[in-house]
């Protein structure tokens, strides 16, 4: 099986370099027409350079592909709507959205300025929300869509000095989970990529050997799969150095505490049992968890009734 994106239209944000550039080139190489979005900002989101997006667009065209260059800031909802409208006016549809745009403003939480916290959340989370909101009605109307959020191990597991970045990336997992449920019956599949790559964001943080293994090109095959017709739905895929692994949230076997014994002290006493993940399970929605808990409470209560 070979993935062919001929006739498909993709929007890739933050595509002027690093992962976004790699994703855009990979999709174009397989026939997709690509909107290359990047305002040309620095890693911190401070500068403004028209060059990166234009260069990637030109690179796609030199390789025989089709590209549109867009420089809107994804935090600008109106600008995002205009970007999507231009893609639809030019090519008639939008099939794929890769929410990749992001910035870093690292500092320990105690020392972090709230404006820096807010700006990182605005770009990563609100940027993804703006772009997804803009493409959603088009995907619903055509009965097909593939959306990829870019999360991070910092959001899944945490990382020192990245409370703003980690919070935004964790929020994107929650957004993925909900939209995967809402989009499924409409032909829209939503997944998340959690990459670890050597990009501008990691300059000076990795040794040369690690950098050699952690190129963006080692991650883009995962992105290509997650926006293909054969993509799964609601998956978090870790990727880096040519290694791929699904991450997921798991829950231990639920433990029911009868009302007369429902205390913090009992929870502490039975903590090993409550936190035992050796018999873990996954849940497909919040209501599945609610139903599971109620059913367990009903079942146990019925057994202990005189």
For residues 283 and 173, membership in a common domain is answered with no
pLDDT of residue 303: 65
For residues 166 and 241, membership in a common domain is answered with yes
Q: Are 43 and 90 in contact (CB under 8 A)?
A: no
Of the candidates 13, 5, 10, 22, which has an alpha carbon nearest to the alpha carbon of residue 199?
22
Strand order in the sheet with 243-247: 67-70, 33-37, 9-13, 96-99, 145-150, 188-195, 236-240, 243-247
Tens-place pLDDT, residues 250-263: 999 999 999 999 99
Give the number of other Cβ atoms within 10 Å of residue 118's Cβ. 13
Per-chain mean pLDDT for the chain: 93
Active site annotation includes 293: no
pLDDT of residue 24: 98
Rounded Cα distance between 195 and 142, Å, is: 30
Q: Are 107 and 117 in contact (CB under 8 A)?
A: no
For residues 217 and 300, membership in a common domain is answered with no
Q: What is the pTM of this model?
A: 0.93
Average pLDDT over residues 258-270: 97
Asked if residue 253 is part of any domain, the answer here is no
For residues 292 and 162, membership in a common domain is answered with no
For residues 272 and 234, membership in a common domain is answered with no
Band (pLDDT 50/70/90 cuts) for residue 209 is: low
For residues 197 and 275, membership in a common domain is answered with no
pLDDT of residue 104: 94
- Strands 9-13, 33-37: pairing is parallel
pLDDT of residue 161: 95
Asked if residue 1 is part of any domain, the answer here is no
Q: Are 5 and 225 in contact (CB under 8 A)?
A: no
Asked if residue 252 is part of any domain, the answer here is no
For residues 221 and 271, membership in a common domain is answered with no
pLDDT of residue 272: 98
Tokens of 146: 């593939």
Q: Which of 214, 246, 278 is the last residue of a domain?
A: 246
Rounded Cα distance between 306 and 299, Å, is: 14
Percent of the chain at pLDDT > 90 equals 86
Tens-place pLDDT, residues 151-170: 999 999 999 999 999 999 99
Q: Is the pLDDT of residue 182 over 70?
A: yes
Band (pLDDT 50/70/90 cuts) for residue 82 is: very high
Q: Is the pLDDT of residue 271 over 80?
A: yes
Q: Is the pLDDT of residue 304 over 60?
A: no
Rounded Cα distance between 218 and 220, Å, is: 6
For residues 230 and 265, membership in a common domain is answered with no
For residues 165 and 22, membership in a common domain is answered with yes
pLDDT of residue 49: 74
Tens-place pLDDT, residues 35-70: 999 998 777 676 677 789 999 999 999 999 999 999
At a CB cut-off of 8 Å and minimum separation 6, what does 256 contact? 296, 297, 300
Band (pLDDT 50/70/90 cuts) for residue 103 is: very high
Q: Which of 144, 157, 165, 293 is catalytic?
A: 165
Q: Which of 246, 272, 292 is the last residue of a domain?
A: 246
Q: Could you tell me the residue range of the domain that residue 193 belongs to?
A: 9-246
Average pLDDT over residues 4-11: 98
Asked if residue 119 is part of any domain, the answer here is yes
Q: Is the pLDDT of residue 236 over 80?
A: yes
Band (pLDDT 50/70/90 cuts) for residue 1 is: confident
Asked if residue 254 is part of any domain, the answer here is no
CA distances from 20 to 227, 240, 287 (A): 14, 15, 35
Q: Domain total for the chain?
A: 2
pLDDT of residue 36: 98
Tokens of 248: 């997921």
For residues 204 and 300, membership in a common domain is answered with no
Please tell me which residue, 48 or 220, carries the higher pLDDT value. 220
For residues 233 and 157, membership in a common domain is answered with yes
Q: Is the pLDDT of residue 228 over 80?
A: yes
CA atoms within 13 A on the CB side of 229: 10
Band (pLDDT 50/70/90 cuts) for residue 302 is: confident
Whose structure tokens read 């002027």? 16
């Amino acid at each position: 099986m070979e993935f062919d994106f001929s006739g498909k239209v993709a929007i890739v944000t933050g595509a002027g370099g690093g992962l976004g550039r790699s994703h855009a080139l990979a999709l174009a190489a397989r026939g997709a027409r690509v909107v290359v979005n990047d305002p040309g900002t620095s890693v911190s989101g401070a500068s403004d350079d028209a060059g990166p997006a234009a260069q990637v667009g030109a690179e796609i065209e030199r390789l025989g592909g089709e590209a549109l260059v867009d420089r809107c800031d994804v935090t600008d909802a109106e600008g995002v709507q205009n970007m999507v409208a231009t893609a639809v006016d030019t090519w008639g549809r939008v099939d794929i959205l890769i929410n990749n745009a992001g910035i870093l403003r690292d500092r320990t939480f105690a020392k972090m300025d709230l404006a820096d916290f807010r700006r990182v959340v605005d770009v990563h989370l609100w940027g993804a929300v703006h772009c997804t909101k803009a493409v959603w009605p088009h995907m619903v109307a055509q009965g097909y869509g593939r959306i990829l959020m870019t999360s991070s191990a910092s959001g899944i597991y945490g990382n020192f000095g990245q409370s703003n970045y980690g919070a935004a990336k964790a929020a994107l997992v929650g957004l993925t989970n909900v939209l995967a449920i809402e989009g499924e019956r409409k032909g829209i599949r939503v997944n998340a990529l959690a990459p670890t790559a050597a990009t501008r964001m990691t300059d000076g943080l990795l040794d040369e050997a690690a950098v050699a293994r952690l190129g963006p090109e080692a991650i883009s095959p995962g992105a290509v799969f997650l926006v293909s017709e054969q993509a799964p739905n609601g998956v978090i895929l870790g990727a880096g150095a040519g290694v791929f692994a699904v991450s997921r949230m798991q829950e231990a076997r639920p433990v029911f505490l009868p009302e007369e014994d429902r205390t913090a002290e009992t929870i502490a006493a039975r903590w090993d049992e409550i936190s035992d993940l050796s018999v873990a399970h996954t849940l497909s929605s919040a209501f599945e968890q609610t139903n599971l808990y109620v059913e367990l409470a009903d079942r146990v209560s019925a057994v202990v009734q005189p």
